[in-house]
Structure 1
Amino acid sequence: MLIEHRMRTALALLVKGLVPALLLAGSAQAEKYVLLGWNDLGMHCANGDFSSFVVLPPYNNVRAQLVYSQEGSLPQLVTEGVRIDYSIPGNTTSVTKTNFWDYAQQIFDLPAPLPPDVGLTGNGLTGSMEALDGFFEVTGVPITPFQDDDLVNEQPFQLIRLEARRESDNFLLAMTEVVIPVSNEIGCVSSGCHSSEQSILNHHDDEAGFDPNDTPILCARCHSSNALGTPGIPEARSLSYRLHEKHKDIRPTNSIATCYKCHPGNQAQCLRGVMATGIDEPMICQSCHGTMRDVAESISEGRRPWLDEPSCGASNCHGSNYAEQPNTLFRMSTGHGGLYCSACHGSPHAILPSSEENDNLQVISLQGHAGTLAQCTVCHTDIPLGNGPHGSPAPAAAVADLQIVRLAGNQAHLSWSPVQGVSSYLVYSMPSADARPAQWTLLGDQAATQYDDLIGTPDEERFYRVVCVSH
């Protein structure tokens, strides 16, 4: 197995100069904060019009974790003495972009009208996240898919800015921007399936006591919804069951296009993660959830929609080594160092790397490239000796004294102490300290703990990385 060690950052820089010089490995920051954020579902949909029937309100949830690391200690999750503020660049108001606030009190039986731009949980488009046990969260952000300068074209993958600040003096500790996804593509009519929303209500005319003209009507008032927490009427069955059972014969049954008739959507295409776009045989919605008939039948057999969902750890998927916590959804599971799975892997439906550029911005800013957050030194100032996430190998022992000496004739002499359990060493040169692996040049593959390198010119700067190989 390949074991990468960075000697703190595991980099050594050969500086300019003709005189022999001793250079120690570059040191990581003595202390640092890293802010990781994500959306809970990878997509939130909401009605565009609330005057007829209502499936979902504008309601978006974002979580974050703040990691503090100092030299000589393991990183720690911080929730005390700090706060995380949030805002949405380019989207400062929602009340002028939807009629939700005209009907919210009636739809949800509220004691008073909602203030403009305030959602069902009392949160707005700016504010501070709530500090909880090991993480921060804001729920019910009432965002619409329209930015302030374009009220026509949906922008389903906008960014929410998170700023971690020290409470004592408001000092900015860390900042990140992550996708806060939202779409109005609940396509009952726009998909071409129904002539109007009123016609859907009229199909309920055989239900005793139901008046299809008494609008607006919250679907989850009668049909229970775990998404909204409504018990509904038992005889009416859940909204998830009714929708999937009613439409189970739509063709093609095993196509993502069928799901996009209701779920966002032909424009948003919310299934955008690596499993759908980054593998040779892309997966579709049915690969995990089954057909609409499968979804309906599983609910009839006792599955709880929104609460019992496909598992990453299933034997036909990634296996137990990559499973969620027992009886816990992926989006609620934690692992390495208490980090939530989504902190490193991304949101459900947007597992990294994503085909949507905005989904990748956070990890690119932290490790220089898209994909799973996998660079240890993003959080660690010192690489620990134990295994990493999912049992991934770490160095058997720390190399403490990588040394580089400038010799005559533009030569550099590298030396280091042996690492226990290592059979050979790969010596790389790099054009910069943050160069990606594709930019590394292999200089040597050897058992010896020293290497001589010829520098092109006396003024050339060169970076080195030592990778230990253990069999």
Structure 2
Amino acid sequence: MHTANKLTNATNSAPGRLLRAAALLISLTFLPATLLAAEVSGVQIKSAAWDAERAILKVELTFGAKGTKTVALFNDRTDQLLAEKSTQGKDLRLSVRGLRGSDVPCEVRAESGGQSDVSPVANAPAHCDEEPPPPPPVNLAPQCAITDPTANVTIVVGESVYFAGTASDPENGPLTYEWDFGGGADARPTTAIAGDIRFDISDGTFLATFIVTDDHGARCTGQRSVEVGTPPTGLPPKVTEQPAPGTPAAGDGEHVVLAFNDLGMHCADLGSWPFSILPPFNTVNAQVVRRGTSGSNRPLILDDGQVALRYSAASSARDPVGPDSINSTSQNYPPGSVAASAQVRKSDFWDLFDGANTIAALLFPGLDPVPDEGLQTAANADHGRYMPGIDDPYYTNEPQAFSRFDAQHDWFTAQGIPITSVDDAGRLNSYPLMRVQARDTANGQVVATTDAVVPVSTEVDCRDCHALGQVGADPLARPAGPVFAAPASGDRPDVEAAAKHNILALHDFKHGTTFLIDDQPVLCASCHRSNALAEVGGPGGDPTLDNMSAVMHGFHGRLQVNGSGALLRDGSGEPLLIEPVAMTGSELPLIPVGEGIPMEQNCFSCHPGKITQCFRGAMFTAGQTCDDCHGDMLAMGAEFELAGGGYREPWADEPKCSACHTGHGGDPVGAKAFDPSDPAATPIEVASSRFAENPGTLYRNSLDNHAGIACEGCHGSPHAIWPNRNPDANDNVTATQLQGHAGTLSECTVCHEPNSFPNGTLQGPHGMHPVNDANWIKSKGDFYHEDFVWQNGTDRCASCHGEDHRGTRLSRVPVDRVLRDADGVVRATLSKGEIVSCDLCHSLEKSFSN
């Protein structure tokens, strides 16, 4: 406790006080020189006393010079602003009311003219005699290293490398572990000792990364390089990129591009032969906003009469794959080589199959895209979308036009970009970036640029079950069953091709088809409708057959095992299937789903996946799993009638945000997007939720109610809701470019110019007030944000700040903040993750006053 007044220069005081003094100095620079000279002469506290009976803090100040002085009074321990006033006199008396309990200061600090003075408070409460609590410790990142192998290694495909790591936390807190093998191994262990890891991709260099995270999200990494076979050499240098966002040539500062992927992950076959589930096909949507203030000068969403959009390949200096990872072309290297013999294997989609036709042309009769051209869809009237390197693969990176402007959603769409998950250097990167530029249609000038992740994975695995000898290709299971094939080598593409061959062998055996005899590339969706393709103009399938989702989820969801994990079969070797309508609860499905079962044992067995980890956003970080939103295999396979009647329609009957998020911070967040007693996992929809999708549609197609901005434009794509837990992830690039930090776009200044709301508003996204806005904190005029509290007769602060106004998860700050008012005075200093409560700057009683 201070025993005497201290007159100090603010620039030499504690760091927390330095910020406040700096803010005050900034505001003073706008005063006339004569007044500034008077202010810098300093302030002294003559007395400070607490009147407990009347609950008033009385402070007397004196100044060393004439003229107008502005003084700010703070609780010296907590840095809470208590009062602020200007005077032309030599002395000033301040009375502060509304304080109680621990809000009553033990010492006060006065700041004026770049100087400060601290004084103890007479008659202070008893707690002031106690030692003040120490400041919270700064969290230190964990320390980690790979102990095995001790150096980079060189192996041949199919060999294993033993991996182990060690880690410690300076605070002795809990740690989580994760291994990433750069796509070279089909594994992602979550223990410090990974053990023997088999590398099954030939002719590549893979970066093995040991990732350790503490309970505060701080991370450390260790790395080793694993060279398998003969990696490609002599590749062309990295292609040239368009001007990066934030550089002068990338925009005029008056426009912004909100670019986003539609699904959060697009799948493509590792090999398109002997059959294809999904071709290389990716979609980027984008809105262009002309920045403004409010009212008649509010920001405007532009259409194709005002701007034209282009995309080209981009890279990130923080990309976990490497700072030079870029994906400009989907052609193999050297260009013209087939995938099987290429140095860089990107795709076999455009490979000649029979000497005359490409695999692409045989899969999609009537279409014959050239290499680096995607499929011509309903949105592509001219041609399929081109990869930026189509004119000269590995050497050019020319911006390509979007498909069209979608007037229904007020966004531009580039539908069907045929990007693959292999970068131009032959490395696996499922999260490549595209640079989206908006050009003025009148003069061709670039007015805005943003990078967006274009996620794609070939981890649509069949080999785990259908490779020779596995449960789906067991030659001993049937007395006279199909003949299954062994892979040509241990290389992953060969193993996957053999697994697909075995699936067709089973299909021919069970359904009388002749796929193996015909020896032509087969598109599954040509018979079994896939809405992913049909909705964009692709084949509609055979209406007499079950759709692709039903035959995949439904059939595999009905497979069951015994207590030892062996597949149950009848006397002829055919699987004994679960009867959904007659389930007893004792069945053991082959693909288990439920609490404590990792996604690697169910959804990630077929979907991307153990390597890709396509479910990776904020909800993954919070501990959710695929089945929390989608239900189990039988629900996905439409084996049960939905609660409202009918059966699940793939890509249409999807989870709703409002099922778990009510929009009221005092409510618990739901853990299931459906009623757990409903076997169909019917999506719950709460139209009254602050976070509800637009009526009759899904999150990916919804627009917000405040300006028609796409939900994905501010929150990210499904399965990848911002932020990604890895600060270096390409998923975080878009938000960081637009607002300076990862996570939901929460800074109004992305679209609005500073000082756009001098009189406040609650008309922001989801009814928000302006964020980190000086006028909202305290304006220079007659406006006070508490004027809005009871505008409609209800507490409008409670939804985000809680019924008690002490804050909720909805009022956490996503980044360190220094909150200043319109006079430049610092009102609060917050660290990332702290909750904004209404008593940061004033008493709770004041926040409830009408």
The normalised TM-score by structure 2 is 0.45
Pairwise CA distance, 1:437: 5.7
Pairwise CA distance, 1:293: 1.8
2:803 corresponds to which residue? none
- Structure 2 counterparts to residues 157-176 of structure 1, below 5 A: 157-176=431-450
Pairwise CA distance, 1:391: 1.9
* Partners of 2:425 and 2:765 in 1: CA distance: 43
Decide which of 287, 292, 302 is 1:70's aligned counterpart: 292
Does 2:547 match 1:238? Answer: yes
Pairwise CA distance, 1:417: 2.8
Percent of aligned pairs with the same amino acid: 36
- Structure 2 counterparts to residues 395-434 of structure 1, below 5 A: 399=775, 416-420=780-784, 422=786
2:348 corresponds to which residue? 99
- Structure 2 counterparts to residues 210-289 of structure 1, below 5 A: 210-214=514-518, 215-229=520-534, 230-248=539-557, 249-254=589-594, 255-257=598-600, 258-277=602-621, 279=622, 282-289=623-630
| Deviation sequence 1:235-279 (CA, Å, 0-9, x none) | 4301101111222122432331111111101111000010111x2
* Partners of 1:391 and 1:439 in 2: CA distance: 21
Decide which of 340, 349, 366 is 2:719's aligned counterpart: 349
* Partners of 1:20 and 1:70 in 2: CA distance: 35
3-state SS in 1 of match to 2:507 = coil
When residues 60 and 179 of structure 1 are mapped into structure 2, their CA distance, relative to the original with a 3 A threshold, is same
3-state SS in 2 of match to 1:416 = coil
Does 2:26 match 1:13? Answer: yes
CA RMSD of aligned residues (A): 3.4
1:458 corresponds to which residue? none
1:462 corresponds to which residue? none
User: Does the 8 Å CA contact 2:554/2:639 hold for their aligned counterparts?
Assistant: no
* Partners of 2:696 and 2:612 in 1: CA distance: 31
* Partners of 2:24 and 2:718 in 1: CA distance: 35
3-state SS in 1 of match to 2:361 = helix
Moved over 4 A (4+): 15-19, 190-195, 298-301, 315-319, 397-400, 449-453, 466-470
User: Does the 8 Å CA contact 2:279/2:349 hold for their aligned counterparts?
Assistant: yes
1:387 corresponds to which residue? 763
- Structure 2 counterparts to residues 114-263 of structure 1, below 5 A: 114-121=369-376, 122-126=384-388, 127-129=400-402, 130-133=404-407, 134-150=410-426, 153-190=427-464, 194=472, 196-205=499-508, 206-214=510-518, 215-229=520-534, 230-248=539-557, 249-254=589-594, 255-257=598-600, 258-263=602-607
Gaps of 5+ in 2: 1-22, 37-67, 69-251, 315-325, 333-345, 352-358, 377-383, 389-399, 474-498, 558-588, 661-669, 674-684, 789-812, 827-839
Pairwise CA distance, 1:178: 1.0
User: Does the 8 Å CA contact 2:293/2:299 hold for their aligned counterparts?
Assistant: no
| Deviation sequence 1:203-251 (CA, Å, 0-9, x none) | 1223245433322111111111111113322343011011112221224
Stretch deviating more after TM superposition (83-92 or 261-270): 83-92
* Partners of 2:703 and 2:722 in 1: CA distance: 17
Letter in 2 for 1:339: I
When residues 331 and 11 of structure 1 are mapped into structure 2, their CA distance, relative to the original with a 3 A threshold, is farther
1:431 corresponds to which residue? none
Gaps of 5+ in 1: 1-9, 23-29, 403-414, 425-434, 454-465
Stretch deviating more after TM superposition (260-269 or 212-221): 212-221
Pairwise CA distance, 1:155: 0.3
* Partners of 1:224 and 1:436 in 2: CA distance: 43
Pairwise CA distance, 1:438: 2.6
| Deviation sequence 1:309-330 (CA, Å, 0-9, x none) | 1111126569522110111011
Letter in 1 for 2:742: A
User: Does the 8 Å CA contact 1:38/1:63 hold for their aligned counterparts?
Assistant: yes
3-state SS in 1 of match to 2:786 = coil
* Partners of 1:364 and 1:283 in 2: CA distance: 25
Pairwise CA distance, 1:92: 2.2
Pairwise CA distance, 1:368: 2.0
Q: Could you say which structure has the greater relative contact order, defined with CA pairs below 8 angstroms and 6 or more residues apart?
A: 1
3-state SS in 2 of match to 1:287 = helix
3-state SS in 1 of match to 2:732 = helix
* Partners of 2:269 and 2:27 in 1: CA distance: 60
Letter in 1 for 2:448: A
Larger radius of gyration: 2
Letter in 1 for 2:511: E
Letter in 2 for 1:100: F
- Structure 2 counterparts to residues 360-379 of structure 1, below 5 A: 360-379=732-751
Pairwise CA distance, 1:68: 0.6
Q: May I ask how many residue pairs the two structures share in their alignment?
A: 409
3-state SS in 1 of match to 2:533 = coil
Letter in 2 for 1:324: E
Letter in 1 for 2:609: G
2:818 corresponds to which residue? 440
When residues 436 and 295 of structure 1 are mapped into structure 2, their CA distance, relative to the original with a 3 A threshold, is closer
Pairwise CA distance, 1:19: 5.6
* Partners of 1:322 and 1:246 in 2: CA distance: 35
* Partners of 1:305 and 1:12 in 2: CA distance: 60
* Partners of 2:639 and 2:513 in 1: CA distance: 30
| Deviation sequence 1:177-211 (CA, Å, 0-9, x none) | 01100011010015666552111011122324543
